[in-house]
Amino acid sequence: MCVAVVKTVVATKKNDFFTINKTKNKELDELVNCSFLAFHNNQSELYLANYNDDEWYQKQLNQQNLYSIYRKKQLVGGIVFIKNLENLVIDRLFIHPNFQNKDYEMKVIKQVEKMFADANSFEVYAPLWNRRTNHLYQQLNYRTIKIEDDVAYFRKDIYSKRFFKGNQFIVLPEDTILKELVNLINSSNRQVLVKWSFLLIDELLQEEKFDAGVFECVSSAKQWAQGDIKMKETKKLILLSHQRAKKQNNLLIAAIAQGCSVVHTQKHALGFVLYELSWIYKNKSYPEVLDKIEHYKQTLQQIKENHIDNHGKWASFLRL
């Protein structure tokens, strides 16, 4: 199990159920024995290295990575935190067999999430054949990010926590992962953003299925940008697309409606991004969210570098 976060762990965190402290030397023997019993009690977990290795646990203690879990005044388990420059990882969580099957693992994970409420992300992993643990992570709204060597890796990040609380978007303009893209959008002129938005819309129309009304809206927006029709004709179709998106709870239709609205106001370019990224996260994976952000930046930069102002057919209000 691993949990990635960005805050430095503090010495002690408490709530009404558990106390999680940095392990002291005098506790080490008892904690190693607890680890041995926890993993030895479950033969399916014996693949894990160092589960009863005194030297390994001593090393973790010396590096201040090892924490003890107490229920009231009784030692019930331990956690190993591995730190690097930006993240803090929960490499191991174990519960004494006397306290297993009491939902302690779930309660500990929930407490860790509260301890690091400002964390960027939390990651855990489990062998595929450990159905109970896999189910536990799914119950806690962790999403599968990859499966490798019969091990499933899960992640819950700040965006998933935001998303599962019912927010419309999983990312916001002020989030770090969007910083470069937001700066790029803000430094691009209106013609560039219109071209970019239509490129993204066309890619989406090729990748996913939409009804005729969506295609009509896009076609109308392109004619509006070229000055062939007036705003009111396209505005009606955009509003209908927004209504359709809301009725169907369809984030991609909402994205397309935002993209078409860039012809009117360039701020809608970011609206397209927020809706599409939320759809990708909900239906695909977080790594694909990051890939898409890179795609956004690359395509926008290319258009910006190759664009010649007023080259092509533009409505008068779009000419620079």
pLDDT attached to residue 238? 96
For range 267-293, the mean pLDDT: 89
What is the DSSP secondary-structure string of 71-127?
ETTEEEEEEEEEE-SS-EEEEEEEE-GGGTTSSHHHHHHHHHHHHTTT-SEEEEEEE
Query: Would you state the structure tokens that stand for residue 68, as one six-digit string?
Result: 């003890």
pLDDT attached to residue 126? 78
Domain with CATH 3.40.630.30 in the chain: 12-164
pLDDT attached to residue 85? 41
How do residues 82-110 score in pLDDT, each as one tens digit? 665 445 577 788 888 888 767 888 888 88
Top-tier CATH class for 12-164:
alpha beta
pTM: 0.58
What is the C-alpha separation between 269 and 197, in angstroms, rounded?
A: 6
Query: Would you state the structure tokens that stand for residue 318, as one six-digit string?
Result: 């779009």
